[in-house]
Amino acid sequence: MALDILKNPVLLIAVPLLLAFLAVFLKKIDKALLWIAAVANAASAVLLAVVYQGMTVVELGGFKPPFGISLVLDEYSLIGVVVLNVLFALILLLSGKLVKQYATVLLVALAALNGIILTGDLFNLFVFLEIAAIAAYIFTAMDKGFKHSFNYLVVGTLGSGLYLFGIILLYNIFGSLNMFDIRAQLQAIGGAGAETLTLPLVMIFTGLSVEAKLMPFGGWVKGVLHKANSLVGTMIVSGYALAVLLAVGRLMDTVFQMTDAVLIAFTAVAVGTLIFAEASAFSKKNLREILLFSSVAQAGLVVLLFLYGLTVPAVLVLVNNVVSKFVLFTVAGRLAHALETDDIGELKGVFVKVPLVGVGFTVAVMSLIGLPLFFGFVAKINALVGLFNAGNVWLPLIILVMAVVEGAYFVRILTTLWNTGEEGEVSSRDNLKAFNLDGMKGLGVVSVGIAIVIVALGILPVLNIKQFFSVDFMTFVQQLLGGM
Amino acid sequence: MIQYVSIALMLVGIYGLLTQKNVIKLIVSLNIFEVGINVFIISVGYVSGGIAPILTSQNNTSALLYVDPLPQALVLTSIVIGVGVTALALAFARRMHKQYGTYNLDEMEGE
């Protein structure tokens, strides 16, 4: 059938890459090409989801796995490509004018991010990571912040070098670069080789930590993002965070056979990132700085969940984070652009002027904290129950304490941005500053639209709670309530 | 033996990245680090006494001892990516020099 060709996930990579090459020669219509790629990719990702019938492995160049490169489309990567491509189209919609001469770079980034999510080959993942990273170095320098981008470039190249070193060691051990082939070999020897894998796994984890923004390897993120516009900001905290963390999760699912010592070391990095980043976010006064540290904290949380094998909760937390952060960072970037400041104190009562944007922002914040009735609650309760079921008490405790810290600074932001007067005063329109906010209508509509999706995804599982949550969850609740 | 050399090269590169303040020297350190990794990759595929993995009219059987061709293909990709990154880094260095009038990271004003 002629339509069958459209069901091939390789199009998600090939179409933007082809259009990127065309855009180099057809400079005049490069923005149109970017739009074609974004819409085509979003449509094709949704189509893949509609016709999805179980895991498919696409062989490239006719080599059967484990030889050659293969793309893997399963539930895991399907969620990834759908969220990524729809978000990319929305990012483009809300920051159209910022694209300027960066259309080619964004096309390359789109192709590489899809590749990161889909690939089943370790070296292919390295290539896509490098392509995505090079695109990121270029567009983060959009606002003349060459020093910060150079910093990112040096750390990023060092990180991918370490990742490459790690996978070559794995190739030396297993004679294969196919993730699923390595997993099969690991299962065949039944966990006997865990000690041998220590060095490659540490190298891979360290290398990926740079792009995944785990501390201390992700120190570049503050310089790059603290003054970023809405396009650069949302690309890094949504698109890149989603793709790279999904790749980390895929590797942990396939090749990470850890000894207890290695697991403790990786856990320490993830927990340290969570605590450090939440504490940093709490102490900041600028909206974009708070959001970027909150992103780092969420990356730590997601990696922590992946480390303990909680893939489904981790993906839920990750999707919740990137969707919420997309709204938050777009609003922050647009406000900063319109008012030339993102100091919270200067933005007092700004949402009274643009209530639609305010509602979208507020719902995204509520979901990010994980309040009930929002999607974030579903994600976080699954994560916590998963950790409890695995017999872990300390990690849920840390996550809950950090959620309180997160709640504290986000509620502070919300009260300031909605309240025109001083803290404790009755909010009155008389105190409202004369903000000059034009052209926020589109942003308002999109953010309210996303807010409706977030609330819908939060309420639907509650309506049929028994089907959604696992059986373990219900027994857990019953025990908690004393066998009611 | 060659693997110790490559690891030494990687360490030299990391040492340079940690100690140097000059943008150009940082890029050179990055390149030394990459060369170290590339040599390591090649060394993984080396087979003592092996010949080039190309079927010719003389070497027309798979029974001969060939070196592993895969690391050679990988290192080619890795070199190309390295060149791209280096070119981009040099472009950044030039723009930073235009902006600040210096290649020294410590002397660059502002945040």
Residue B24 CB: number of other CB atoms within 10 A?
13
The pLDDT of residue A482:
46
The distance of B59 to chain A (nearest Cα, Å) reads: 23
Determine, for residues B85 and A147 on separate chains, whether the beta-carbon distance falls below 8 Å.
no
Residue holding tokens 């952060």? A325
Percent of chain A with pLDDT over 90: 26
- pLDDT bucket at A2, cuts 50 / 70 / 90: low
pLDDT at A480 over 70: no
Tell me the pLDDT band of A131, cut-offs 50, 70 and 90: very high
Lowest mean pLDDT among A165-174, A429-438, B38-47: A429-438
pLDDT band at A98 (very low <50, low <70, confident <90, very high): confident
Is B17's CB within 8 Å of A138's CB? no
Pick from A86-95, A279-288, A338-347: least confident: A338-347
Min CA distance, B57 vs chain A (Å)?
25
- Look up residue A290 and give its two tokens: 């708070």
In this predicted structure, what is the pLDDT of residue B39? 93
What is the SS3 assignment for chain A? CHHHHHHCCHHHHHHHHHHHHHHHHCHHHHHHHHHHHHHHHHHHHHHHHHCCCCCEEEECCCCCCCCCCEEEECHHHHHHHHHHHHHHHHHHHHCHHHHHHHHHHHHHHHHHHHHHHHECEHHHHHHHHHHHHHHHHHHHHHHCCHHHHHHHHHHHHHHHHHHHHHHHHHHHHHCCCEHHHHHHHHHHHCCCCCCCCHHHHHHHHHHHHHHHCCCCCCCHHHHHHCCCCHHHHHHHHHHHHHHHHHHHHHHHHHCCCCCHHHHHHHHHHHHHHHHHHHHHHHHCCEHHHHHHHHHHHHHHHHHHHHHCCCHHHHHHHHHHHHHHHHHHHHHHHHHHHHHCCCEHHHHCCHHHHCHHHHHHHHHHHHHHHCCCCCHHHHHHHHHHHHHHHCCCCHHHHHHHHHHHHHHHHHHHHHHHHHCCCCCCCCCCHHHCCCCCCCCCHHHHHHHHHHHHHHHHHHHHHHHCHHHHCCHHHHHHHHHHCCCC
Query: Above pLDDT 90, what percent of chain B?
Result: 53
Burial of A471 (0-12, 13-18, 19+ CB in 10 A): exposed
- Long-range Cβ contact pairs of A428-434 (< 8 A, separation 24 or more): A429/A352, A431/A348, A431/A349, A432/A349, A432/A352, A432/A353, A433/A348, A433/A349
pLDDT at A148 over 60: yes
- What is the ipTM for the molecules in this complex? 0.94
Predicted pLDDT of residue A483: 40
Average pLDDT, whole number, for chain A? Answer: 84
CB atoms within 10 A of CB A386: 22
Cβ-in-10-Å burial (0-12, 13-18, 19+) of A418 comes to middle
What residues contact A467, with CB distance under 8 A and at least 6 apart?
none
- Residue A419's pLDDT is 80
Tell me the average pLDDT across A244-265. 88
**Are residues B85 and A157, on separate chains, in Cβ contact within 8 Å?**
yes
pLDDT higher than threshold 60 for residue A296: yes
Range with the lowest mean pLDDT among A38-47, A293-302, A461-470?
Answer: A461-470
Q: What is the mean pLDDT of residues A197-210?
A: 91
* Entry pTM: 0.90
**Chain A hits for B43, Cβ within 8 Å:** none
From the list A134, A154, A168, which residue is nearest B84 (CB)?
A: A134
Per the structure, how many domains does chain B have? 1
Most confident range (mean pLDDT) of A124-133, A169-178, A252-261, A418-427 is A124-133
- Tell me if A153 and B92 make a contact (CB, 8 A cut-off): yes
Binning pLDDT at 50, 70 and 90, where does residue A3 land?
A: low
Q: How many Cβ pairs within 8 Å bridge chains A and B?
A: 71
pLDDT at A249: 92
**Main-chain dihedrals φ then ψ at residue A70, nearest 5 degrees:** -130, 150
- Of B40, B89, B92, which is closest to A165 when you measure between CB atoms? B40
Angle, in degrees to the nearest 10, between helices A287-307 and A311-339: 170
**pLDDT tens, residue by residue, B54-107:** 888 887 877 788 888 889 999 999 999 999 999 999 999 999 998 888 888 888
CATH number at residue B89: 1.10.287.3510
Q: Decide if pLDDT at A345 tops 70.
A: yes
Chain A residues contacting B, CB < 8 Å? 123, 127, 130, 134, 137-138, 141, 144, 146-147, 149-150, 153-154, 157-158, 161, 164-165, 168, 171-172, 177, 223
Q: Tell me what the pLDDT averaged over chain B comes to.
A: 89
Q: What residues in chain B have their Cβ under 8 A from chain A's Cβ atoms?
A: 10, 14, 17, 23, 26, 30, 33-34, 37, 40-41, 44, 70-71, 74, 77-78, 81, 84-85, 88-89, 92-93, 95-96, 99-100, 105, 108, 110-111
Q: Does the pLDDT at position A126 exceed 90?
A: yes
pLDDT band (50, 70, 90) for residue A484: very low
Higher pLDDT, B102 or A128: A128
Token digits for B58?
């003389």
B37 vs A161: CB contact, 8 Å cut-off?
yes
CA distance B109 to chain A (A): 10
Candidate from B17, B77, B78 with C-beta closest to A154: B17
Domain with B31, as residue range(s), is 2-107
Q: If pLDDT is split at 50, 70 and 90, which confidence band does A383 have?
A: confident
